[in-house]
């Protein structure tokens, strides 16, 4: 089974560490690393929007050298690495344009997806610009979409990943809660709106968790990692609304990628 090669790669990291102490490099460690393949899929939370240092060749996909997939690749040196995550991606964009690098030799896949399908960008815009009642109504619409429509779209993505990479370990990562309640923010959204937005994030994560696990994939929640680093925390790893660079609003900063997403993914992988 291909997962044995995944285990061999993990073991090779320990062998390489031992080799460094002994002044030698076992061939097994080098061979395992040479054949190990990792593919990073998904939306802006995987491409690294908000972290800066974007690869100009990635264009509007805004793939950052500070995104967690690149940080993991730099730390573990897999034999092959493909980074197709793209800002703004929905489930259909993943199946239509991101799965090319997957094959039977792919060992590890990461993905964040579903937030754009559920309209979370529009939710945030609505809540910032309109009344509390309109905000809460838009959140309810998004949650209804998560209940009725999103599961089928996630199934389509997960089925496609498994069909193209039948032997890979697939890690589906969630989204953080955006706000620390009763925090440092004194203007902007009401506490009722902030709590509702956090609840909608939890709702999306719960639905994604179920679909991922039903496909035999690992689900990795980042909510705990971002606790104490939400907007209004005084030590935020998330951008608040930024009218000068609206696309980075409500996305992880570089510390959010390295301190939030990376350790959670590393543990799950």
Is 251 considered catalytic here? yes
Mean pLDDT (whole number) for 217-221: 98
The answer to whether residue 204 scores a pLDDT higher than 80 is yes
> Is residue 242 pLDDT above 90, yes or no?
no
| pLDDT (mean) for 215-234 | 98
In this model, does residue 17 exceed pLDDT 90? no
Give the pair of three-digit tokens for residue 137: 């109504």
Active-site residue identified among 76, 229, 239, 251: 251
pLDDT recorded at residue 35: 83
The confidence band for 244, taking pLDDT boundaries of 50, 70 and 90, is: confident
Helix axes 191-214, 132-148, angle to 10 degrees: 10
Confidence of residue 80 (pLDDT cuts 50, 70, 90): very high
pLDDT tens readout for residues 155-164: 999 999 999 9
Give catalytic status of residue 235 as yes or no.
no
Give CA separation, 7 vs 2, 59, 220, in Å: 9, 35, 19
Q: Say which range, 24-28, 132-136, 236-240, 241-245, has the weakest mean pLDDT.
A: 24-28
Does this model's pTM top 0.95? no
Is 29's pLDDT higher than 70?
no
* β-bridge partners, 83: 40
Query: What does the H/E/C string look like for the chain?
Result: CCHHHHHHHHHHHHHHHHHHHHCCCCHHHHHHHHHCEEEECCCHHHHCCCCCCECHHHHHHCCECCCHHHHHHHHHCCCEEEECCCCCCCHHHHHHHCCCCCCCCCCEEEECCCCCCCCHHHHHHHHHHCCHHHHHHHHHHHHHHHHHCHHHHHHHHHHHHHHHCCCCEEEEECCCCCECCCCCCCCCCCHHHHHHHHHHHHHHHHHHHHHHHHCCCEEECCHHHHCCCCECCCCCCECCCCCCCHHHCCCECHHHHHHHHHHHHHHHC
Degrees to nearest 5, angle at CA 113 with 141 and 34: 175
The answer to whether residue 78 scores a pLDDT higher than 80 is yes
* 163-185 pLDDT per residue, tens: 999 999 999 999 999 999 999 99
Query: What local confidence, expressed as pLDDT, does residue 92 receive?
Result: 98
Residue 2: the pLDDT is: 46
Cα dihedral 173, 176, 177, 182 in deg (nearest 10): 150
- Residue 163 gets the label, from left (phi > 0), alpha (psi -120 to 50) or beta, of alpha
What pLDDT does residue 3 have?
47
- pLDDT for 26 beyond 70: no
The share of the chain scoring above pLDDT 90, in percent, equals 84
Q: Which of the following is catalytic: 44, 47, 201, 221?
A: 44
Is the pLDDT at 149 greater than 60? The verdict is yes
Give the mean pLDDT of the chain: 91
What is the Cα–Cα distance from 12 to 29, expressed in whole angstroms?
A: 4
Task: Give the pLDDT mean for 92-117.
Answer: 98
Partner residues linked to 238 by β-bridges: 252
The residues that bridge with 231 in the sheet, in sequence order, are 179
The radius of gyration computed from the CA coordinates of the chain, to the nearest angstrom, equals 19
| Of 256 and 32, more confident | 256
Q: Are 228 and 235 in contact (CB under 8 A)?
A: yes
Mean pLDDT within 2-24: 51
């Amino acid at each position: 089974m291909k997962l044995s090669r995944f285990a061999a790669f993990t073991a090779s990291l320990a062998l390489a560490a031992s080799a460094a102490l002994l002044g030698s490099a076992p061939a097994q460690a080098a061979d395992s690393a040479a054949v190990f393949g990792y593919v990073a899929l998904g939306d802006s939370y995987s491409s690294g929007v908000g972290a800066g240092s974007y690869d100009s060749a990635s264009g509007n996909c805004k793939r950052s050298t500070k995104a967690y997939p690149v940080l993991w690749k730099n730390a573990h040196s897999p034999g092959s690495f493909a980074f197709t995550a793209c800002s703004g991606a929905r489930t259909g964009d993943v199946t239509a344009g991101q799965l090319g690098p997957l094959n039977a030799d792919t060992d590890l896949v990461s993905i964040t997806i579903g937030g754009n399908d559920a309209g979370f960008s529009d939710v945030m815009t609505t809540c910032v610009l309109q009344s509390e009642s309109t905000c809460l109504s838009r959140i309810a619409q998004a949650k209804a979409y998560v209940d009725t429509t999103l599961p089928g779209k996630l199934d389509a993505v997960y089925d496609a990943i498994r069909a193209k990479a039948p032997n890979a370990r697939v890690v589906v990562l969630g989204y953080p809660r955006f706000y620390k309640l009763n925090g440092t923010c004194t203007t902007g959204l009401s506490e009722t709106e902030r709590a509702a937005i956090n609840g909608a994030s939890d709702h999306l994560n719960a639905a994604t968790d179920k679909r991922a696990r039903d496909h035999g994939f690992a689900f990795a929640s980042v909510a705990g990692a971002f606790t104490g680093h939400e907007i209004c925390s005084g030590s935020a790893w998330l951008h608040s609304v930024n009218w000068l660079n609206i696309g980075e609003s409500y996305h992880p900063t570089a510390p959010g990628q390295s301190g939030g997403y990376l350790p959670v993914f590393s543990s799950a992988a």
